[in-house]
A and B are shown apart, each in its own frame.
Chain A
């Protein structure tokens, strides 16, 4: 059974810092991995999707890496802003691409 773990559970940083969120998964037979953002009481916004054959994806100040063999992914946020404050969720898609398994998330607070 696939399990996804995210560390840290919560993070508070001053504005402008670069930060790294970590995600690990137990079964390396994945189709892809996604990072989502969730604002309080809201649904999910997809940030980055990395296919199993890829090593990283970038979008603006966000960079996500994937090391499938070791079961790890990181989300790097450069020059953090208060507007980045949210919960960040990592999810892996099973080998058949039909089921997302989520981590518990990292609650990020960027202080101005």
Chain B
């Protein structure tokens, strides 16, 4: 149980392209979803927290106009990296959590490479 699917697993695209990453909870309803970024040999850094039907809360230093988050349903959240540049290349991981203070369940991540 508690499976989170993230798609795509790997994206390579040209600079200036916008890229959308999907995060789905397959067997539970996720009231809250989280988006993390991980640079090589570094830990996960929380980018934003999104609750279904409301605007995402972004961490300090994360540009909300650059990283658009939509959590339109209880099973789906999307992260769109707008006008991506090489410095946006990273490993992006989502997690989802049922209502209340429950553990987060993580997706397998998306490797984003901007040329």
Contacts and interface: CB of A to CB of B under 8 A. Distances in A.
Binding partners A and B: yes
Interface of A: 4, 31, 34, 36, 41-46, 49, 89, 91, 96-105
Main SS class of interface, A: strand
B25 interface: no
A98 B49 contact: yes
A104 B42 contact: yes
A36 to B, nearest CB: 8
Main SS class of interface, B: strand
How many residues of B sit at the interface, in one of the four size bands?
A: 20 to 34
B114 to A, nearest CB: 17
B42 A34 contact: no
A49 B6 CA distance: 23
A101 B62 CA distance: 16
A31 B105 CA distance: 17
B106 A99 contact: no
18 contacts: A4-B43, A36-B106, A41-B91, A41-B109, A42-B108, A43-B93, A43-B107, A43-B109, A44-B95, A46-B106, A49-B103, A89-B44, A96-B101, A98-B101, A99-B49, A100-B46, A104-B41, A105-B43
